[in-house]
Structure 1
Amino acid sequence: MDVETQEITDQAPRQPGAGRQFAKYGLDVLVLLAMCALLFYGASWQFVTNSSDAAKYECYVVAFWQGNEALKELPSGQCNFILHPSSAILTNQAVAQRLQHADLPEFIVSFVVSQAPEQALHALPHEYPLLVLIPFSLGALAPAGWYQIAFAAWMALLAISIYILLLRFRSRRAAIAFAIYLVAGAWSTGLGRFDLVPSLLTLGALLFAIRKRWNWAFVLLALATLTKFYPLVLLLPFLLAQQMEMSGKWYGWQRWRPLALFVGLCILVMGISLLLSVEGTLGPLSYFGNRPIQVESLLASLLWLISAVKHHPLEFAYTFGSLNVLSTYSTLIGLFGSVLNIAGLLYTFWLQWRGKINLVQSCLLTLLVVMLTGKVFSPQYLIWVAPLVAYVGESDLRWLISWTVLSLLTTFIYPYIYYMTDNLLKVPYIAWFFPTTAVRNFLLLGVVLCLLLYYGRNKPAITLASAGNRRSLMGQKK
């Protein structure tokens, strides 16, 4: 009898508790279901085409694990960008010739020649570092013909993970804002591309950094960089925040261990990549260095305005996997973008150094400046900053309205304007294209300038320990 009474007593509070849990997280479940459903619907048109980004990822996976010869088993035309590239890329033979001309030992030249991409484990992506093959390979776990759907399912799990992290470590308002931004700005790209991978890793690195777990923060930042190069620009904000928080001698191992972990992990992975393919490791560096101005960037909008004023025609070409603009003013505008980039980043780092912004705000501004002043602005770039915008802005209407409008304009540009014609080279001639991209880009410029001015007026909020560390780094006596 006592046992039965005890069982009833133990079980009684569980039902109301379960009800409270459902009431507590029911809204989150509904938001996640709506987010995933909309993202799947937005990406669904890509599941039946062999020219989507996910289809290219499948080519990279097959080429790496089986060699380029196996690409012929995939649908015709799907992997032509590897088998018959339209842009000049660094080849295995070119690397070997350069090494030979540099009079390097013959065994090094022979080693590079032996890394033929026709063999398994020697064909690396031309655009991305080695670790990207891990998320690419996840889609290959599905049965043949289901790669793109399986890849989208994995990306949906990552989007859910970001939502849960924001919910757990920031607020429900931030999590819901992230869902809104992701659907509004990455409706067709969120599940069709892999940018949620570095975005999740970067958010994880920031959450560890906020809790002063610097070793893990720098490890995750290194993994994000080794997946897609853009998180590398966040190394200085991370290092600056970490150094300002640390105490002790400036040359102490404890102070520099997180950076050593970052550098060591990058060297390790890049070393493995070089052993597999020197050409595949160096290829992405030359790939991005030679890219012209892409038509959706702010620099392209400036070229469009110049052409309208001076009646100077623009030329367009599809190279490096994107639609690019060519003009006699391209070099000048590119230089102007570089100056803006350096000035924006230096001012951002100065704001962080002065304690006017925290690490998350510094990382967000750094990414926004790079996106705004770079030669390329692709739709998936919004995925990089969506978690950070949500973390900083939460439910602030100024953030919600401005970033949702900016995101919707990006979605209107791609895929809607892009698919108003069957000829990609005719996209810039569509009446809506350049006016819409210019409005989006100048809106982003306005957001960045407002943030820089707003944070510049903030009073420094530096702890005594941080101030002391800053003085010690400058070589002054405490």
Structure 2
Amino acid sequence: MNLHFFRNTLIGRHPSVTAFIIAHIAIFAFVFNSGFYADYVIDAFGIFHQYAADILNGQLPYRDFAVEYPPVALLLMVIPALFGDGYASFSTAFVAGIIFIDLLTLVLLAGLSRRLGLTVWKTLAVYTLALLAVGPIVSLRYDLPVAALTLLAVFALIVGRNKTAWVVLGLAVMAKLYAVVLVPLFLLWHWRRGEKRALVHGSLAFGITLAVLSAVPLVISAGGYIDSFLYHSDRPIQLESLYASVMLAGDRLGWWVADTFYSFGSVNVAAPGAGFFASYYWLFVGAGLLLVYWLFDRFLVRTEGVKNKKGERDNARALGLVAFSAAAITVFMVFNKVLSPQFIIWLLPLVPLLWRASRLSWVILFVVGWLTAYVYPLHYIELQLGEGAVTWVLLARNVLLVGLVFTLVRGIMKMKSLDYHGPILQRNGKKFGKSTY
């Protein structure tokens, strides 16, 4: 995880990464600004630029103005503002930062692919296709940096940099709260590997990271900082969520009436049952996550005796960690009461690593990306008006996300030979798979 690693990954062992770097620069600089992508008219950086300008003008977040974002997110907004005072310079710097993070993600994916015995260029090709499916919104939101942090945390845990993994995970949580769903997976990873000392030290590193990053906001305004988290608990059912898509579909079928309204910075749905799901969505999120964590624990137990030809067992478990991390994030996303289009970006770095363990997962991600872009921004007005086609597209997208959870978990749990492009695996001294070198 140092300069030698990045240089070795890019040039020494995988020169194809350089070709993907060039391709991605072209995608962000030209492809996303031409053709049908030019129709992706999105309100880009208004609120980000305003927050950054307020902070640089001496106002304190959480005290002088309300903020709905954790402190690391504010840092990601302030950095582009350091390169100029105007909106145009902020936009340019913000996009440049996203491109830089995207290129680092390519390098991380190459390194982790090699660690898992996967074909590097295939992983990067799937990631690139998913990026193209999601579209220009990748460069207009700060979700990719958070997704890259989660990937780095998973990578560090796999290669044994335990404290680094927990610190990076803490940074991810303080940038966007969804990353907290990986905490139980990390704990189970240590527990089932018999790493009780690493479990304690990692948990302490995670807690200290959260405490350090929260210290200044708490001093500035404890109430304002706490309100930034409670803000989301008060939100109604957002238009693109699974619950809203079912309500809109029921309205189209004449079963009930669903109306839309604007609040909390989003378009939301009012319909029979909306209040219940807005208040108790966490039951469905919690139940889904508990199931994922239990299945991951079963997976770790099942692979305890699985080793490769060198007597190592970590590759099989590492593949499971990636799969269940993606599944946990998807559960949190799809059963939440808010499902903004940029949330799909959370899955971009993880799912491409699973195309052999779960052959349908990358296809589903690709389709989900296109359907999400079809809904927002291409036909968002029509969705608010309750028009038929886009309503059914939204429902299909959300059903596919539920299917993605099933595909990810089933793929890794039912993989009888753990037959990825890597070393021969053994169980109790007997061959358990075949090499695909």
With structure 2 as the length reference, what TM-score do the two structures score? 0.79
Mapped partners of 2:224, 2:361: distance in 1: 40
Contact persistence 2:243–2:277 (CA under 8 A): yes
2:78 to 137, 154, 159: 137
Mapped partners of 2:158, 2:286: distance in 1: 26
Mapped partners of 1:39, 1:288: distance in 2: 35
Q: C-alpha displacement at 1:303, in angstroms?
A: 1.5
Mapped partners of 1:63, 1:350: distance in 2: 45
Mapped partners of 2:336, 2:376: distance in 1: 19
1:390-469 map, 5 Å: 390-393=352-355, 398-418=360-380, 427-457=384-414
CA 39–278 in structure 1, closer or farther in 2 if over 3 Å, else same: farther
Mapped partners of 2:39, 2:95: distance in 1: 10
Contact persistence 2:357–2:415 (CA under 8 A): no
AA of the residue aligned to 2:172: A
AA of the residue aligned to 2:131: L
The secondary structure found in structure 2 opposite 1:318 is strand
Contact persistence 1:39–1:188 (CA under 8 A): no
Aligned to 1:217: 165
Mapped partners of 2:416, 2:254: distance in 1: 45
Q: Deviations over 1:297-338 (max 9, x none)?
A: 111122123334553211211111111101231134457744
1:4-403 map, 5 Å: 24-25=16-17, 27-37=19-29, 40-41=32-33, 52-67=43-58, 122-123=63-64, 126-145=67-86, 146-170=89-113, 171-185=120-134, 187-247=135-195, 252=197, 254-309=198-253, 311-334=255-278, 337-354=281-298, 355=300, 358-393=320-355, 398-403=360-365
Contact persistence 1:126–1:287 (CA under 8 A): no
Aligned to 2:308: none
Contact persistence 1:317–1:324 (CA under 8 A): yes
Aligned residues: 385
Q: Deviations over 1:142-165 (max 9, x none)?
A: 233221121111111111110121
Contact persistence 1:155–1:194 (CA under 8 A): yes
CA 217–33 in structure 1, closer or farther in 2 if over 3 Å, else same: same
Larger Rg: 1
Q: C-alpha displacement at 1:361, in angstroms?
A: 1.2
The secondary structure found in structure 2 opposite 1:429 is coil
AA of the residue aligned to 2:257: P
Contact persistence 2:185–2:321 (CA under 8 A): yes
CA 233–40 in structure 1, closer or farther in 2 if over 3 Å, else same: same
AA of the residue aligned to 1:143: G
Give % identity.
25
Q: C-alpha displacement at 1:31, in angstroms?
A: 2.3
AA of the residue aligned to 1:160: L
CA 22–259 in structure 1, closer or farther in 2 if over 3 Å, else same: closer
Aligned to 1:80: none
CA 281–121 in structure 1, closer or farther in 2 if over 3 Å, else same: closer
Contact persistence 1:334–1:375 (CA under 8 A): yes
Contact persistence 1:198–1:227 (CA under 8 A): yes
Mapped partners of 1:25, 1:37: distance in 2: 18
Mapped partners of 1:210, 1:122: distance in 2: 40
Q: C-alpha displacement at 1:382, in angstroms?
A: 1.1
Contact persistence 1:428–1:434 (CA under 8 A): no
Mapped partners of 1:141, 1:242: distance in 2: 40
Mapped partners of 2:92, 2:37: distance in 1: 8
Q: C-alpha displacement at 1:407, in angstroms?
A: 0.8
CA 419–327 in structure 1, closer or farther in 2 if over 3 Å, else same: closer
AA of the residue aligned to 2:139: L
Q: Deviations over 1:394-417 (max 9, x none)?
A: 697633432211111111111100
CA 396–366 in structure 1, closer or farther in 2 if over 3 Å, else same: closer
The secondary structure found in structure 2 opposite 1:135 is helix
| CA RMSD after TM alignment | 3.3
CA 456–333 in structure 1, closer or farther in 2 if over 3 Å, else same: farther
The secondary structure found in structure 2 opposite 1:380 is helix
Contact persistence 1:46–1:52 (CA under 8 A): no
AA of the residue aligned to 1:189: I
Question: Runs of 4 or more off by more than 6 Å in structure 1?
Answer: 19-23, 42-47, 459-464
The secondary structure found in structure 1 opposite 2:272 is coil
CA 453–336 in structure 1, closer or farther in 2 if over 3 Å, else same: farther
Mapped partners of 2:218, 2:236: distance in 1: 27
